[in-house]
Amino acid sequence: STRALIDTLEADRHLDRNQWIAFFRGRTPEALEYLSTRAREVSRKQFGRDIYTRGLIEFTNYCRNDCYYCGIRCSNAKADRYRLTDQQIMDCCKQGYGLGFRTFVLQGGEDPQLTEDRIACLVTAIKDKYPDCAVTLSIGEWERSSYERFFRAGADRYLLRHETADPEHYRRLHPKGLSPEHRKQCLRELAEIGYQAGTGFMIGSPGQGPEQLAEDMLFIEQLAPQMIGIGPFVPHHDTPFAGERAGTVEETLYCIGALRLMLPQALIPATTALGTMAEDGRERGILAGANVVMPNLSPLGVREKYELYDNKICTGDEAAECRDCLELRMESIGYRLVVSRGDHPQAGKEE
Ligand code: 5AD
Ligand code: FES
């Protein structure tokens, strides 16, 4: 039964491929309820009722890639493109620091105009000014030498979702030129260099079924990343996937629970996409085993331009409003936002 699989997963932190497939096929409301309860208990043991925050700075929506699901793909001529200046980025950090953020996530498309130098200088500037903060980069695929340079400049963490671990499925989501092997290679390099590395994938993307999800779980088990970001696929109206079905909150919660049981100490956000699919999506994410929230610090004027998918929440709210909103939401379910870098419990303890 699915309940027995959940017990096995909790005890062994491992399922084999066939067990994973059965686990995903066996998703029922009762199974989700049971899994969430187990996963929530594991989170509580690791992190108590503390929720870590990261200030997300979406600093460019230019992108050279053409992922079929993404609203800022290069073929989307309707996307209103922008780049923040260094000064604007530093202002976001200043405001964020005042609001209690101790991690800044620099996220952007694969902007052809971004240089290794600029990123390295930005990271150094932020770390100089805020030595008690962590800097996370989320800027896609670069050469190993560039990842090394960013790390030397002071970057602490790197987010690069693998998107799907099934190569066939990867090719259904991305045009030629992006390769699933290269993606995985980047992730292994990031881990080797010493970053706290984050991967992840969308839930309910076109062509994803129990077999693909099983591959994702096996890949994540092997990579053992410090962070895992997952959220429902949400169609964007100006992409080839405009007419596809969105992923559901329930599927997403089920995966969050599974990830928490497999990697008890992982940093797992309740994502904006989850909050987009349901008003209380992020709260439910926390109650299913997530322990991080990532409110937006981008300037109000550019918020709605970083439109990866339709109906994205928080595009009209000031950073302070989002912080207060999330604080209330977390308190409403008995959790609290903490002023902390929120490192992985084992960060810096290995090697
Ligand atoms: N729906 C949900 N998530 C999306 N992402 C990109 N486009 C979408 C979409 N339409 C996710 C990808 C990417 C992250 C930054 O946003 O997984 O890695
Ligand atoms: Fe942005 Fe609630 S978190 S308005």
The complex's ipTM works out to: 0.95
pTM, to two decimals = 0.98
Of the two residues 35 and 349, the one the predictor is more confident about is 35
C-alpha span between 262 and 322 (Å, rounded): 31
pLDDT in tens, 247-295: 999 999 999 999 999 999 999 999 999 999 999 999 999 999 999 999 9
pLDDT reported for residue 348: 85
pLDDT in tens, 65-123: 999 999 999 999 999 999 999 999 999 999 999 999 999 999 999 999 999 999 999 99
What average pLDDT does this structure show over 2-14?
98
Polymer length of the chain: 351
**Could you give the percent of the chain with pLDDT greater than 70?**
99
CA 94 – ligand 1 centroid, Å: 27
Q: Is the pLDDT of residue 302 over 90?
A: yes
Helix 86-98 vs helix 116-129: crossing angle, to nearest 10: 30
C-alpha span between 84 and 107 (Å, rounded): 11
CA 299 – ligand 2 centroid, Å: 14
pLDDT reported for residue 196: 98
- Listed residue (260, 275, 259) closest to 309, CA to CA: 275
CA 8 – ligand 2 centroid, Å: 37
Indicate the pLDDT class of residue 349, thresholds 50, 70 and 90. Answer: confident
- Listed residue (183, 262, 278) closest to 228, CA to CA: 262
pLDDT reported for residue 351: 52
Our answer on whether the CB atom of 234 is closer than 6 Å to any ligand 1 atom is yes
Q: Is the pLDDT of residue 350 over 70?
A: no
pLDDT in tens, 179-216: 999 999 999 999 999 999 999 999 999 999 999 999 99
Per the prediction, the chain carries an average pLDDT of: 97
Ligand 1 atom closest to 138 (CA): 15
**Residue ranges of domains in the chain, CATH in brackets:** 2-337 (3.20.20.70)
What average pLDDT does this structure show over 127-147?
98
CA 70 – ligand 1 centroid, Å: 6
pLDDT reported for residue 183: 98
pLDDT in tens, 147-178: 999 999 999 999 999 999 999 999 999 999 99
Q: What residues flank ligand 2, with Cβ below 6 Å?
A: 295, 314, 317, 321-322, 325-326
The backbone torsions φ and ψ at residue 95, rounded to the nearest 5 degrees and listed phi first, read -65, -45
How many C-alpha atoms does 330 have within 13 Å on its Cβ side?
25
Ligand 2 atom closest to 282 (CA): 3
